[in-house]
Every structure is written in C-alpha cells, then in structure tokens.
C-alpha cells in the first residue's frame, strides 16, 4: 500500500493526457521510492585549490591574448577572482602576499588587453592592480622593492590613461617613499 502511494505521488498527468491511452505515457519509470541522497559536508570542497585554478586560468589567458583578446581579458579577470579567494583563505602571510601579487598580475594582463577598446576601464584596472601589488609587497616571495616598482608602474599607466590625478600622484609618491628613490 505504501508503495502504491509513493508511485501515485510521484506521477503527474502530462499535458494532453488522455484516459483512454495510459500505456502511451506510462505510470512511473521506477518501481521504488528514491533513497535519500548523501550530501557532502559544507565548507571547502576537497581537491579545489583556488591558486591552482587561478594559475591555470592565467596560462589560458596568456595563450589566448594574441588570438582572442576579449576572451583572454575575461579569463584573466576570472583568475583575479580566484586569487582573491585564495588570499582570503590563505593560512600564512607569505601565501596571502603571493596571492595579492598574482591578483595584480591578472588585473595588469586584463588591463593591457582592454586598453585599446576601453581606456577608462583599463585605467581603473591598472589602479586596482597597483593596489594589489602594493598590498602584496611585504612578506611575499617577491622582493618588496620589485613589488613596489610594479605598483608604481601600474599607477603611472593609470595616470596616463586618465585616472584621478590627485589620488594617483599621492600613490606614486607613496611608492617612491617606500622604495627610497
């Protein structure tokens, strides 16, 4: 009796159902009720490493940059998102700084690819890339001077592309003080 109730509960009349031809649509594909599905525990999925995912996306963007620049820019921005996720979940300062530098590289690539089509957007991406390079300057595997130099270059390119002059000049001066020019 319980089996009959589960069969009737799972079956609905399809559109155009006719009482005279029930064999045409059939009752149910299964003869038993479905077992409850096991669900994975909440939290980080096993085997998903955002840094490896971001590195894979960056290599894909570098391969696509000459043939399909729009698609390569989108891929670089996706890599940026994975780097930010990795920086948020990093367990050490070194890994966090390296993720910020990777995020800066991804944004820099995306900005260079969309520079011809949309210079304002490229300027904003350059500004954000400089901020991420500056955030990843300390405690990372890249020397602090190199990261500050990359940040300064991104700020100068953003200034050239029409960014907010006062803000960018202040950030360039901040990089100059940090590197001791």
pLDDT at 28: 53
Which CATH number goes with the domain that contains 132? 1.25.40
Asked if 144 and 180 touch (Cβ cutoff 8 Å), the reply is no
* pTM to 2 decimal places: 0.72
Residue 55 lies in a domain: yes
Work out how many domains the chain is built from and give that number. 1
Placement of tokens 């991104």 in the chain: 154
| 84-129 residue pLDDT tens | 999 999 889 999 999 999 999 999 999 999 998 999 999 999 999 9
């Amino acid at each position: 009796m319980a089996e009959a109730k589960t069969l009737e509960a799972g079956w609905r009349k399809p559109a155009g159902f006719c009482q005279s031809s029930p064999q045409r649509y059939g009752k149910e594909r299964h003869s038993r009720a479905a077992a409850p599905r096991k669900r994975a525990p909440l939290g980080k999925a096993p085997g998903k490493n955002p840094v490896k995912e971001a590195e894979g996306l960056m290599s894909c963007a570098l391969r696509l940059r000459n043939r399909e620049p729009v698609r390569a820019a989108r891929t670089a921005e996706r890599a940026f998102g994975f780097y930010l996720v990795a920086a948020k979940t990093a367990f050490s300062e070194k890994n966090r700084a390296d993720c910020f530098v990777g995020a800066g590289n991804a944004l820099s690539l995306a900005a260079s690819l969309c520079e011809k089509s949309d210079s304002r957007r490229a300027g904003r991406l350059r500004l954000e890339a400089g901020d991420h390079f500056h955030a990843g300057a300390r405690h990372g595997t890249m020397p602090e001077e190199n990261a500050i130099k990359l940040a300064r270059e991104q700020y100068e390119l953003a200034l050239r592309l029409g960014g907010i002059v006062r803000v960018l000049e202040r950030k360039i001066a901040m990089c100059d003080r940090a590197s001791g020019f």
